[in-house]
Chains A and B, each alone.
Chain A
Amino acid sequence: MDANIKLKNELVDDTQTGLKTLQGNSTADMEQEIGATIGQQFVDKPKMQARNVDVFYGEKQAIFDVNMDFGEHEVVALIGPSGCGKTTFLRCLNRMNDTIPICKVTGDISLDGEDIHSKAMDPVLLRARVGMVFQKPNPFPKSVYDNVAYGARLHGLASNKAELDEIVTTSLQRAGLFDEVKDRLQEPGTGLSGGQQQRLCIARTIAVSPEVILMDEPASALDPIATAIIEELIDELRQNYTIAIVTHSMQQAARVSQRTAYFHLGKLVEIGETNQIFTNPQHELTENYITGRFG
């Protein structure tokens, strides 16, 4: 635990003295400081609900008793220092953690009231309904067209070539990429620039028409211009989808999200309206984090 905190502190504060003072007052009383989650955890029209979610990596517990809702047509930002478990929690929502053998998820997570861990819920179907965009752009080494068409082909969403073309075109248009790549749909997707690759990945995700999109720091590897395009895109996508986004940029969280959740050391510390979180945080840790005093 100490090592973790030290690591986080180093990210914020280079100076030795600053580190020492922070360590002095943070490690000792950290445990008491995080109490029950503060704020508006639940919404009226939830799309996904998480109740008493614990995650373990082998012996080590990474997520402690998280309870929260993701409402329809809303963007929820998950923020917090590195290693606080935001990505781990995000990956629980479409059972991507199943692929890690030592990872164990307990508690209830439901999509439209259906338990996603129940036998009736197929992980393949779940991932078609809850799409994911990863931190690093990861287009397949195939053409732009095949990248976007992959999911549609996989799930048999198009019955003929014309329908598939239609899906590819609309997905690229909605991802704001169509005009840039319309003349090179048959060229490899890996040949695009970083920002274009990430939008290609978003197009690939929305091509299967998911109900929820999970985004794991989608703009962390991009320049401000590409980031701005992606942020606009997220705002548009909100009309049709529920979006959960993990981000390290507080400005980004403030710009794109309706609600913001602050995670610390695997616990959900505070959640609420984005405006309220950034202007009037209730918890001391949240305040420290958003004002840049803490990691």
Chain B
Amino acid sequence: MNNTELIKKGLAKRYRREKRFRAYGLMAVMVGFIFLAILLADIIGKAIPAFTQHWIKLEVSFDPDTLGIDEKSDEATIRDANFNAAVKKSIRSLFPEVKKRKDKRKLAAMLSTSAEYQIRDQFLADPEILGQTKTVWVLADDDVDTYYKTADKSKAVRLSDKQIAWADKLLADGLVKKRLNTTLFKNGDSREPEQAGIRGAIKGSFYTLLVTFLLSFPLGVATAVYLEEFAPKNRWVDLIEVNINNLAAVPSIVFGLLGLAVFINYFGLPRSAPLVGGLVLTLMTLPTIIIASRSAIKAVPPSIKEAALGIGASKTQMVFQHVLPLAMPGIFTGTIIGLAQALGETAPLLMIGMVAFIVDIPQGFTDSATVLPVQIYLWADSPERAFVARTSAAILALLVFLVVMNTLAVWLRKKFERRW
């Protein structure tokens, strides 16, 4: 048998192996896609109810006697006025047959507790309406909202039979309307699902990541440049290198403990603040950025460096005019991986108090805040059924945040990429 025949004999086997390998690859991609699709479908399916809210139409009478105020009352008195009574009165007027105290309380509980603040704000905006009766749409309580949204009415709902009857009647009378849930994007956290929103968490995440980026990017790139281009090759530098690589593998909760001990207890920085969160996440992100930046810098061809030096560029000029611009795409990729990791991080933030129940929307780096993943964790832990949908909605918001961030990174990378 000569060589040609030998090769021919093996060919079929080689091609079969190649085909099989391609099939495995395709299968792996498909499996990945299927899981991603299931995950997304599940999250989106669960999140959809959270994007709408039911409102109930009330005829509220701004009666001076009920409210306990008159024309001359100052703002403080108006703020303390009994708007709750006005709300209760108007819902009771829809169901005059309800007489028992217990039932009356249940009837009032069908409205969100935010109703009285809503009409208070309406009154404060226009005090002229004292004594008049106005049509007001107020939020339904989350249990009522959930009841309207549940297709299968036989499923266990947290409403009594009487409440179900009232809810059905309201719907039949056309006093209920479904609207887009803007509360979700306008409010901070709340114990009441119908008033809870993710704005506080989004802003918290934004501030925290901004601190992380502003600290970890320059620090990480400077470290990488120094280690790669300027550091002498000795045992100390080796030690630093080993430590940086090890830092990348430290469990994130340890960084949280470190942040608690150093930033909060020693330096006395405020608890639950995006500033401290950003500092802790910087510690966590730095090794990722340093390692990625170093390999990007290492990948710059030595011929370009020699060309720059050979023409009389100093080492610093070589680094800033040639090495860094060519390494930038790789550095951006590393940074975005690090920041995406930081965005999804929960554990270290628990340690520094960002898990606290914070209703106010943070206005700066030192205000108390929470972040999206922690918000998701908190809502997933809540017993109210309406929080199930809101948890999924928050996850979607986190994913959108991530996609926006990655898109920005890809765009930046394209902008800095140069043809070789």
**Residue from the set B307, B311, B326, B418 with the largest chain A CB neighbour count within 10 Å:** B311
A142 to B419, CA, bound (A): 8
A101 to B308, CA, bound (A): 18
What residues of B have a CB within 8 angstroms of the CB of A141 in the complex?
304, 326, 418-420
A249 to B167, CA, bound (A): 97
Query: In this complex, what residue of B is CB-closest to A201?
Result: B307
- Residues of chain A in range 123-157 having any CB-CB distance to chain B below 8 Å: 124-125, 127-128, 131-132, 134, 136, 138-142, 150-151, 154-155
Q: Is A96 an interface residue (CB 8 A)?
A: yes
Q: Are B314 and A124 closer than 8 Å at their CB atoms?
A: yes
- Residues of chain B in range 296-323 having any CB-CB distance to chain A below 8 Å: 301, 303-314, 317, 322
A96 to B310, CA, bound (A): 7
Q: Are A140 and B322 closer than 8 Å at their CB atoms?
A: yes
What residues of B have a CB within 8 angstroms of the CB of A138 in the complex?
301, 303-304, 306-307
A128 to B326, CA, bound (A): 24
Q: Are B311 and A134 closer than 8 Å at their CB atoms?
A: no
Q: Are A124 and B420 closer than 8 Å at their CB atoms?
A: no
Q: Are A128 and B322 closer than 8 Å at their CB atoms?
A: no
Q: Is B233 an interface residue (CB 8 A)?
A: yes
Shortest C-beta distance, B300 to chain A (Å), equals 10
What residues of B have a CB within 8 angstroms of the CB of A204 in the complex?
307, 311
B306 contact from A134, A139, A155, Cβ within 8 A: A134
Contact with B along A178-214 (1 / 0, CB 8 A): 0000000000101100000000010011001000000
Interface size class for chain A? 20 to 34
Q: Are B312 and A127 closer than 8 Å at their CB atoms?
A: yes
Contacts A136-B303, A138-B306 given; indicate if A154 touches B419 (C-beta within 8 A): no
Q: Are A151 and B304 closer than 8 Å at their CB atoms?
A: no
Q: Are B306 and A125 closer than 8 Å at their CB atoms?
A: no
Q: Are A188 and B312 closer than 8 Å at their CB atoms?
A: no
Query: In this complex, what residue of A is CB-closest to B305?
Result: A99
What residues of A have a CB within 8 angstroms of the CB of B305 in the complex?
99
Contacts A134-B303, A191-B419 given; indicate if A155 touches B312 (C-beta within 8 A): yes
A151 to B318, CA, bound (A): 12
A94 to B233, CA, bound (A): 23
Q: Are A127 and B419 closer than 8 Å at their CB atoms?
A: no
Shortest C-beta distance, B418 to chain A (Å), equals 4
A125 to B309, CA, bound (A): 11
Shortest C-beta distance, A122 to chain B (Å), equals 9
Q: Number of contacting residues on B, CB 8 A?
A: 21
Q: Are A190 and B317 closer than 8 Å at their CB atoms?
A: no
Shortest C-beta distance, A99 to chain B (Å), equals 6
A191 to B306, CA, bound (A): 20
Q: Are B307 and A134 closer than 8 Å at their CB atoms?
A: yes
What residues of A have a CB within 8 angstroms of the CB of B311 in the complex?
127-128, 131-132, 150-151, 154, 204-205, 208
B420 contact from A99, A134, A190, A201, Cβ within 8 A: A190
Q: Are A131 and B310 closer than 8 Å at their CB atoms?
A: yes
Q: Are B309 and A96 closer than 8 Å at their CB atoms?
A: yes
Query: In this complex, what residue of A is CB-closest to B315?
Result: A99
- Residues of chain B in range 342-377 having any CB-CB distance to chain A below 8 Å: none
Shortest C-beta distance, B304 to chain A (Å), equals 6
A99 to B285, CA, bound (A): 32
Q: Are B326 and A132 closer than 8 Å at their CB atoms?
A: no
What residues of B have a CB within 8 angstroms of the CB of A134 in the complex?
303, 306-307, 310
Q: Are A124 and B312 closer than 8 Å at their CB atoms?
A: yes
Q: Are A132 and B310 closer than 8 Å at their CB atoms?
A: yes
What residues of A have a CB within 8 angstroms of the CB of B308 in the complex?
140
What residues of B have a CB within 8 angstroms of the CB of A208 in the complex?
311-312
What residues of A have a CB within 8 angstroms of the CB of B418 in the complex?
141-142, 188
Shortest C-beta distance, B234 to chain A (Å), equals 10
Q: Are A96 and B419 closer than 8 Å at their CB atoms?
A: no
Contact with B along A205-228 (1 / 0, CB 8 A): 100100000000000000000000
Query: In this complex, what residue of A is CB-closest to B306?
Result: A134
What residues of B have a CB within 8 angstroms of the CB of A131 in the complex?
310-311
What residues of B have a CB within 8 angstroms of the CB of A125 in the complex?
312
A281 to B175, CA, bound (A): 112
A134 to B309, CA, bound (A): 12
A236 to B369, CA, bound (A): 72
Q: Are A151 and B312 closer than 8 Å at their CB atoms?
A: yes
A188 to B420, CA, bound (A): 9
A96 to B308, CA, bound (A): 11
Q: Are B307 and A154 closer than 8 Å at their CB atoms?
A: no
Q: Are A99 and B306 closer than 8 Å at their CB atoms?
A: yes
Shortest C-beta distance, A248 to chain B (Å), equals 19
Query: In this complex, what residue of B is CB-closest to A141?
Result: B418
What residues of A have a CB within 8 angstroms of the CB of B233 in the complex?
101
Residues of B participating in the A interface, judged by any CB pair closer than 8 Å: 232-233, 301, 303-314, 317, 322, 326, 418-420
Starting from the known contacts A124-B312, A124-B313, A134-B307, 14 additional A-B residue pairs (CB-CB under 8 Å) come to: A94-B310, A127-B309, A128-B311, A128-B312, A131-B310, A134-B303, A138-B304, A138-B306, A139-B307, A140-B308, A141-B326, A141-B420, A154-B313, A188-B419
8 sample A-B contacts, Cβ–Cβ < 8 Å, listed by A number: A99-B306, A134-B303, A134-B307, A138-B307, A151-B311, A151-B312, A154-B311, A155-B312
- In order of increasing CB-CB distance, the 9 nearest A-B pairs are A128-B312, A138-B303, A132-B310, A127-B312, A141-B418, A138-B307, A151-B311, A124-B314, A124-B312
